[in-house]
Structure 1
Amino acid sequence: MAYDPKPDNNIIAVRTSGFSKFIVYISFLLTLTITLWLYIGTKNKFKRLEQDINETASGIDVQLQRRFDALQKLVETTRSAMNYEKSTLESIVALRTTGKINPKDFSEYEALTSSAIRGVNLSLERYPELRANENVKELQKAIVDCEDNIAAARRFYNTNIRRFNSSIQTWPAVVAASNLRLETKMFFEASERSRQDVKMDLGF
């Protein structure tokens, strides 16, 4: 004999306890609140990281300015004896007159100033009396000191860049980064010419 179940067509009103409703509603609100809190927290984190990058970029710019100032003084000190041409600094001055250097121009600027330093240094080789001059020695020392400070500032800058780039590419932070249209930032790497040219012969 075939199985012939009888359907129950009675209308039943679905009811649940107020506690069950409370649990569902509170869970929804908590989930929404936590998600919003995480999203806002992530956005604030990105802002802090960008602020750290800007601060370290400013530190690099300060050291590049110090080196530029020392280089200018060195050129002025030695120009009368060496007949050093002012045009050597024209390309550097053009960048400097724009005010604060854009981080993407750091490498170019460092290469230009390093090249100018090398030009002065090579010229000094022909003037032993200038190499022995105390003012020249002090300015050369100042430039070398700036090189060390630039290297340290560059490490801090690149560390912050690395943290920022990693943060905006990892889930779930990448969702907020995408909504904010953020992009990875460029590292500051000294050019090969800069690495070769920054050595100063102090004449000791």
Structure 2
Amino acid sequence: MTFIWILLAIVVVVAIFGITIYNRLVALRQAVNQAWGDIDVQLKQRYDLIPNLVETVKGYASHERETLEAVTQARQQAIDASSLQDQQQAENLLTGALRQLFAVAEAYPDLKANQNFLELQRELSDVENKIAAARRFFNNSVAELNTAVEQFPAVLFAAPLGFSKKEYFEVDVDDRAKVEAAPDVSF
């Protein structure tokens, strides 16, 4: 009879322990999802600003068609991205295209003095800062989830319960050079 009580107590402790681990993993997964939602909101704001910025530059720099088209195409790729990896690549391209657009704007003093352009540039800079902060928060949430999924004893429960490691949202090593490189502007 004592053996049955001991066995029952062990089963109850393991069940409580499993439930605790499961609830922690669920909370961490929700934090990752919420953090991605924050990034998504900021990216949508960025996408909404870009057409206005392109139109403003277009009025001053109509012969910079290639740069304007590159920004528009990069924006569309970012909107259409379906996976985290596609989103990362598209965002890297968009960041590079926007850098090129601002480099073109440097060559037009009237455009640089245009209040509408300056306001759009300020708003875009603000959104970029918010995106960077949201990415840091997302990556921190992913790190917490990934650590929890790999730690013992959660590692015993994670895979069978459907929890797996998530990817970070960061610039790829190959794309980092493209994003950080000075834009090529020719007239």
**Aligned-pair distance for 1:144?**
0.9
In 1: Cα distance, 2:126 partner to 2:69 partner: 25
**Aligned-pair distance for 1:138?**
0.6
Q: Residue type matched to 1:78 in 2? A: V
**Does 2:78 match 1:95?**
yes
Q: Deviations over 1:35-93 (max 9, x none)?
A: 11211221222121111101101111211221222222110112122114352212421
1:61 to 23, 26, 40: 40
2:58 to 71, 74, 79: 79
Q: Which has the larger radius of gyration?
A: 1
> 189-198 vs 60-69, which deviates more?
189-198
Alpha-carbon spacing, 1:197–1:77, altered in 2? closer, same or farther (3 Å): farther
In 1: Cα distance, 2:59 partner to 2:181 partner: 24
Alpha-carbon spacing, 1:26–1:102, altered in 2? closer, same or farther (3 Å): same
> Secondary structure at the residue paired with 1:184?
coil
1:162 to 118, 143, 162: 143
Q: What residue number does 1:24 align with?
A: 3
**Does 2:23 match 1:40?**
no
- Aligned length in residues: 176
Q: What residue number does 1:13 align with?
A: none
1 or 2, which has the higher helix percentage? 2
**Does 2:96 match 1:118?**
no
Q: Residue type matched to 1:46 in 2? A: L
Q: What residue number does 2:49 align with?
A: 70
1:131 to 99, 107, 112: 112
2:129 to 148, 165, 169: 148
Q: Residue type matched to 2:24 in 1? A: K
> Secondary structure at the residue paired with 1:168?
helix
Q: Residue type matched to 1:132 in 2? A: A
TM-score (structure 1 length as normaliser): 0.77
**Aligned-pair distance for 1:97?**
4.1
- Are the counterparts in 2 of residues 118 and 197 from structure 1 also a CA contact under 8 Å? no
Q: CA RMSD in A?
A: 2.3
**Aligned-pair distance for 1:182?**
3.3
**Aligned-pair distance for 1:197?**
6.9
In 1: Cα distance, 2:177 partner to 2:42 partner: 19
- Structure 2 unaligned residues grouped into runs of 5+: 183-187
**Aligned-pair distance for 1:135?**
0.6
- Structure 1 unaligned residues grouped into runs of 5+: 1-20, 199-204
In 1: Cα distance, 2:156 partner to 2:31 partner: 22
**Aligned-pair distance for 1:104?**
2.8
- Are the counterparts in 2 of residues 91 and 112 from structure 1 also a CA contact under 8 Å? yes
- Are the counterparts in 2 of residues 157 and 188 from structure 1 also a CA contact under 8 Å? yes
**Does 2:180 match 1:196?**
yes
2:168 to 183, 187, 193: 187
Q: What residue number does 2:185 align with?
A: none
